[in-house]
Amino acid sequence: MTDDPFGSEYLRWAKTRTPARWDLTSSGVPYLPLRELPVTLDDLEISGTGAYGYPALQQAIAARYRVDDACVVAAMGTSMANYLALAALVRPGDEVLIEHPTYEPLIAAARHLGAEVRHFARRADDGFRLDPAAVQRGMTPHTRAVVITNLHNPSSALADDDALREVGEIAARAGARVIVDEVYLDALWEPAPRTAFHLGKAFISTNSLTKVYGLNGLRCGWVLAEPALAERMWRMTELFNNIGVHVAERMSVIAFQNLDAIARRSRAVLDANAAALNAFYAARPELDAMPRVHGTVSFPRLRGEDADALCTVLVDRYDTAVVPGRFFGAPGHIRIGLGVDPTTFAEGLNRVSRALEELSGSPRSRR
C-alpha cells in the first residue's frame, strides 16, 4: 500500500485494470435493470426541495431498520457514508483502529482525514472471527474510532451480536465509537439481520442499496447515528454533494417498497454460485478456504502458490479476473466475487482451476 493521501489504491486498480470476459471481481450482485423496477414517467421528477434529505426516503430507511428518522443521514453510497462517519469523529493525529484484512478504501479515507491507522487481526485460521480481545489489544488513549465490516470484506465472515457488544463496551470505555460497514449484511437473508446501531450508543452503522440489491446506480447510501452526530454529518454534506439527486431519491423509495422481491432475485444468483464455489473448493487442494455460507465474496488462501502470479496468468491466458489479496493486506489470498450470473461464474471457476493446474504443473483434484 502507498501513503498517498488522495484516493484508493484498490479502487484505482478496479477502475483502470484490463477488462476480463470472465470477471469474478465484483462484490455485488448483477445490476438490476430499470425495467424491473415499477417506475413510471411521473416518478422521474428531477428537482426536489434541496433540504437535508428527501423525507420519503428518510422514512423508508428508518422504517426498514427500525430507527428514528433523526438518526438517518443520506449519503452517496456506502463509500461516502463511511467517510462522513469517520469525518464526524476523527481529527488529524487521532487514531483509527481498523480490522485486518480489510477493505482498503477504509484505510485510505482515515488517512485522508489525517488519522493514524492501527490494525487488529481477524485471522484466517480462526475463520476471520471478530475477536474482542484483539480489539482491546489495539486500543490506545488516542483511539477515536474502531472500524469493522460486517459481513467481513473480504471473507464474508459474520460478527455476532455478542462479539459486537463486547467491542462496543471496549470502545465506550476509551471514549471511542464503533463504525460498522453493513453493506453486505442483508445477504444473510433469514432471519432478517439487525443493524449494529441497535447494540448500544457506541455504534454507528453504514449501508446502501448497492451490493446486495444490485442498485449501484442509485447511489442510495446512509449512516445510522445518534441525532447529534447525524446533524454533524448533515452539515458536512453541505461541502460535498449538498443536495441529493432527486430522481435517484424517488427511485430509491420505489426500491425500498419492492426490496423483498429484489432480494429474492439476488438470493437466487448467490445461492446458485455458492453451490458451484463449494464444489470448486472441494476439488482444489491448492486452496485453503472456508465453505461459503453467506455473503457475496470469498477469500481463499493459496497454499504454496503466488497469488499475484495466479492473477496475472488468469488475465493473460484465461481472460479471467479475481481480486489480488494484496489490496486487503493479505497477499497470499485472492477474493472471488459471487455477484455474476451463474453461467459466467461456473466458467470463471473452471478457468481458475486450469490456471492453478498450469502453475502447479499438473492437474490435481480431490476425490
Q: What share of the chain is helix, strand, coil (3-state, %, to 5)?
A: 45, 15, 40
Helix (H) or strand (E) holding 75: strand 72-76
**In the chain, what are the domains?**
9-29+260-358 (3.90.1150.10), 43-258 (3.40.640.10)
Grid coordinates representing 367 are: 476425490
Question: For residue 275, which phi and psi values (nearest 5 degrees)?
Answer: -60, -45
Strand duo 220-224 + 203-208: pairing: antiparallel
Cβ atoms 206, 183 nearer than 8 A: yes
Half-sphere exposure at residue 241, Cβ-oriented, CA atoms within 13 angstroms: 22
Per-residue pLDDT of the chain (367 residues; tens, 9 = 90+): 445 667 899 999 999 998 999 999 999 999 999 999 999 998 888 888 778 999 999 999 999 999 999 999 999 999 999 999 999 999 999 999 999 999 999 999 999 999 999 999 999 999 999 999 999 999 999 999 999 999 999 999 999 999 999 999 999 999 999 999 999 999 998 777 889 999 999 999 999 999 999 999 999 999 999 999 999 999 999 998 888 999 999 999 999 999 999 999 999 999 999 999 999 999 999 999 989 999 999 999 999 877 999 999 999 999 999 999 999 999 999 999 999 999 999 999 999 999 999 998 765 543 3
pTM: 0.95
